[in-house]
Amino acid sequence: MTSTRFPFRFFLLALLLLSLAGCAVKRDAYDVPEIPLPEAFLQKPLLEETPLVSLSETPLDSILPAWWRVLGSEELDRLMDIALAHNQDLRIASLRVAHTLARHEQAVGGQWPTISIPARVGVEAPRQGIGDNPRGSAVESHNIYEVSVRGDWRFDLWGEKRALAEAAEYRLWKATFDHDAIRMNVIADVTTAYAEYLSLTDRLRIARETERVVQEMLDAVERRLNQGDATRLDYEQQRSAVFGVKAVIPELELQREEVVHRLSRIVGLTPADFETSGENLESLALPTVIPGIPAALLLRRPDVRTVEADLLAADADIDVARARILPPLDLTAQIGYGSRHFSEWFMPHSLAYNAIASISAALFDGGVRKSEEKFAQARNEELVELYVRVLYDATREVEDALATLRRTEERLAALDVACEASGLALEYSQTMYSLQAADYLTLLITERTHHRNLDERLQVRLERHKGLIRLFQALGGGVEVGAPLPGKGLRPHVDLAAVGGSILAEQPAPLDETGVVWEEDTPDMPDDDWMIELSGLFDKASTLAAERDLRQHHPALMNERLLYAFESGVERADGEERIIWYRLRLAPMESQEEAETLCQELQQAKRRCHVVKP
């Protein structure tokens, strides 16, 4: 009895000691390095030059997630809904989150034992085994009946599987932040392209007005030429000015058409399916940024958090590489029944079992595993430098945007005076020329100067709007602020209650969020009706945008129907839900034929979908 118990006790003692050693290999915490940032940005907007009447002050952190709405454009809101629901880059990023989530689930599942049920029914011959049947004797066979339950488990002695699961979790968050970074850029791209479209519309209006004015002047010069009061040189110079303006108009029209094509691509449609009817750049409000923006706000940017998550994953990879240098412990246990006679298959005497523990150490591998550890460490150091670079680049982008706002305000103030002065000079020169008190060259110079000032002022106004757009983008606008990444260790944290800076703007009306039925709020979701499923994976913001887009462009289809959001993946941290991903379905449908007809209607409008059977 003693001889059988001693090895088992010895094995348990060895396993305990090895487990304690394993705790020294797998670290419990991974840190994000603390990068010093300035308390505030160097540049500040020209607040004192902006009137404060009829505007409300709103904290910057509450504006950032949907910052484009403070611009006060319903058409921009409509375009943004289409983009958030249908932009292909966003859809690709969300599906990358889906397959990264699957990889994370695999890594978590890999920590558990594998349980299988091997079964075998067969016949073997010869009975004695191959090569043992006597020469000249008949070949005899026997049946085999076996069934058992088997468990295989690689005991996580050195923390390899835990480190793999943590690395997979951080890479899942990296994919999520990649999606948010694309969303941040899509929102900025839509707003920029729309502002360019409005600016080009303004410039075309000015160009056509200039064409009308110079054409009228050409007619006046021609009349004076016929009367002998003007020279042929005056006439040809004015004709040159007319056709110079005519040549500018097609160029501006081409630029506007290209912007429309680019805008249609960003929102996920073809140019043939896209239309916009913006009036002028003045229709976009220009909120005022009040100084006091802390540089720590950059830590909420999704591209910064992408590198942060990748850095933590690389830190966990170091533990994975270290654990793989050490010998693994494999445990196998199996119990079942086996017999050569079917009638005795499950008799007590047919019981069979075994339990095996094996551990093996690599004696020589040419330095492969040690080099993997070196690679993981170098990768981690590289990502630390990348993290610093991304943060400093973000700081530069904010400084550039604030400088743009400040300098364009200064330029606009000067150009307003210049336009007023050149407009008066043009009026005076026209009057004096008609009275033959000024020569034609003076008139031509003042005419060109005035229209050049008008066009330049429009371009500077566009640059001012672009500066505001770049500021919101540089501050990570367009996404919700997330909590620190899960796990122990140092994490960057932004105290939103202490965030300074605010926006002076008219408060936008709240968005309607009543048209979506969420699975987490409604346990009895429809599952026995024909439904139309929209292609892709959606987060909450894009779900709401998709519903508003459908209601805006397909009101008949949405009549007496609802958009159901079915959970397709939940990301949690510290036991709490952080992000939920959804599959969207329209219901109810009276029949398969109705569902297929309405789905074809959506597909013709470039809203991809398919019919789901009950």
Q: What's the CA gap between 179 and 553, in Å, rounded?
A: 26
* Average pLDDT value for residue range 283-306: 83
**pLDDT digit string (tens) for 44-93?**
655 444 444 445 677 777 888 899 999 989 999 999 999 999 999 999 99
Q: Which two tokens stand for residue 401?
A: 């945007």
How long, in residues, is the chain? Answer: 614
105 CB-near residues (< 8 Å, 6+ apart): none
**pLDDT digit string (tens) for 349-405?**
999 999 999 988 888 888 999 999 999 999 999 999 999 999 999 999 999 999 999
**pLDDT digit string (tens) for 408-455?**
999 999 999 999 999 999 888 888 877 877 787 888 888 889 989 999
- Edge-to-edge strands of the sheet including 502-505? 56-59, 502-505, 288-290
Global pTM? 0.88
**pLDDT digit string (tens) for 103-131?**
999 999 999 999 999 999 998 877 766 76
Q: How confident is the model at residue 293 (pLDDT cuts 50, 70, 90)?
A: confident
| Domains, in order of start, for the chain | 35-111+160-274+300-326+367-482+493-505 (1.20.1600.10), 516-612 (3.30.70)
- Of residues 525 and 224, more confidence is placed in 224
Tell me how far apart the terminal alpha carbons of the chain are, to the nearest angstrom. Answer: 63
Q: What percentage of the chain exceeds 70 in pLDDT?
A: 88
Residue 531 has pLDDT above 70, yes or no: yes
Which candidate, 534, 481, 540, 531, places its Cα nearest to that of 513? 540
* Per-residue pLDDT, 277: 80
494 CB-near residues (< 8 Å, 6+ apart): 296, 297, 299, 300, 481
Query: How does DSSP classify residue 66?
Result: G
Beta-bridge partners for 502 = 59, 290
The DSSP code sequence of 326-391 is: SPPEEEEEEEEEEESSGGGTTSGGGEEEEEEEEE---S--TTHHHHHHHHHHHHHHHHHHHHHHHH
